[in-house]
Amino acid sequence: MALFLPESPKFYQAIGQDEEALKALRYIYTVNKGNSPDKYPVKAIMSDPSQEDIEGEGGTSQSSGVFTSIWNQTAPLFQTPHLRNMVIACLIQLGLYARRTPQVVERGMAAPAEALADLRTIKSRVWGDTQRGRVPWA
């Protein structure tokens, strides 16, 4: 299946391959509309100005720029007009998760506490064995 699907146009644009991004968009247009790629109305792709701030000297990314970019791309999901669809998607995902693993929902927050207690027990056993000169994984 991967042979028939191009990389994401966003990926190509992010790595500076605007021509490849345009080819991917033309392919998507051709598949969706059934028209010739020559009829695709977009002729060139402009760089995203918010992505230019992420690149530091020598192409290294700066963490503050990355977090700013993530915030700028995520925050609109929690504002109108996308908020309603975001809430619906989250509720659907929660419903699917709860249906798949009902014991987690039934136990609620007891599950993390039990897991922590199990980790403490394992740690004490391993630590005790290593103090006695026995290594359990050897």
pLDDT per position as a tens digit, 14-41: 888 889 999 999 988 998 889 998 898 9
pLDDT at 1: 47
Predicted structure pTM score: 0.41
pLDDT at 115: 61
Residues 6+ apart with CB under 8 A from 55: 61, 65
Three-state SS sequence of the chain: CCCCCCCCHHHHHHCCCHHHHHHHHHHHHHHHHCCCHHHCCCCCCCCCHHHHCCECHHHCECHHHHHHHHHHHHHHHHCCCCHHHHHHHHHHHHHHHHHHCHHHHHHCCHHHHHHHHHHHHHHHHHHHHHHCCCCCCC
- Average pLDDT for residues 96-121, to the nearest whole number? 64
- Average pLDDT for residues 54-58, to the nearest whole number? 48
pLDDT at 87: 92
- Average pLDDT for residues 37-60, to the nearest whole number? 67
Cα 138 to its chain centre, rounded Å, is 38
Three-state SS sequence of 42-69: CCCCCCCHHHHCCECHHHCECHHHHHHH
Q: Which residue has the higher pLDDT, 101 or 14?
A: 14
- Between CA 28 and CA 5 the distance in angstroms is 9
